[in-house]
Amino acid sequence: MDHEAPHYLHHLHVPGEERFVSLALVNTRFALSHGPVDLLDGTEAAHLWLVRHELLPDRVALNGRQAGRLLGLREASRALFEARAAGAVPPGESLDTLNSALGAAPSTPRLAWAADGPHRADEPDTGNPVAAALSLLAEDATELLTGAEAEQLTECAAQGCARWFLRSHAARRWCTTKCGNRVRAARAYAARKGR
């Protein structure tokens, strides 16, 4: 564990982030009791996030424009998640942003051979590592939005949380037990105060 990192980096991931890195990207902006948190606040923070998620080698620099594209993809993905959950048509600019990231480093089909045998592997163009990282994130978001898990995609019901997760059962409303406990404590306080 990195003891120098801010405490909010040590929080448990919400359900689904281990399978979909695009969900982790959208969840880089959330709120804590002391206020809003943005894990991509600045070029260095964006670079660190990409490196920690094994999307970009540490030696590859990230400039401000590229960090801005990552932020744009995050916000576009959030808008697409919101539209999917609401059963609505997303804003055209969100679709354009995601599709632009998909096309920035088109994948090349390859035959890969693992211990269990051959399989197809689509590898993004690595000539531009940052474009490849954004393309992988966009592809991951596309897979989440169009796959079987899309029905489980839910925004946390805790006021101010703004994180998204994959529900494991229909009754689940909060991304973590911490958010659920916070909501229950607020309800109990309001009930006591109302008496």
Residue 144 belongs to a domain with what CATH number?
A: 1.10.3300.10
Contact criterion met (CB below 8 Å) for 185 and 164: no
| pLDDT for the residue numbered 157 | 85
Task: State residue 87's pLDDT score.
Answer: 95
Q: Is the pLDDT of residue 30 over 90?
A: no
Q: Judge whether residue 146 has pLDDT over 90.
A: yes
In a domain, 143, yes or no: yes
Over range 165-178, report the average pLDDT: 83
* pTM given for the model: 0.82
pLDDT of the residue at 3: 44
pLDDT confidence tier of residue 25, bands split at 50, 70 and 90: very high
> Is 1 contained in some domain?
no
Q: Has residue 74 been placed in a domain?
A: yes
Radius of gyration of the chain (CA): 18
What's the domain range around 49? 7-194
Separation in Å, CA 10 to CA 13, 49, 100, 147, 172: 9, 13, 32, 29, 23
Distance between CA atoms of residues 12 and 115, nearest Å: 32
Over residues 34-44, the mean pLDDT reads 92
Q: Which range in 28-37, 51-60, 156-165 is most confidently predicted, on average pLDDT?
A: 51-60
- The DSSP H or E segment spanning 153 is strand 153-155
Residue 183 phi/psi, 5° resolution? -65, -45
With beta carbons less than 8 A apart as the criterion, state whether 20 and 144 touch: yes
The count of domains in the chain is: 1
The arithmetic mean of pLDDT across residues 61-88, rounded, is 97
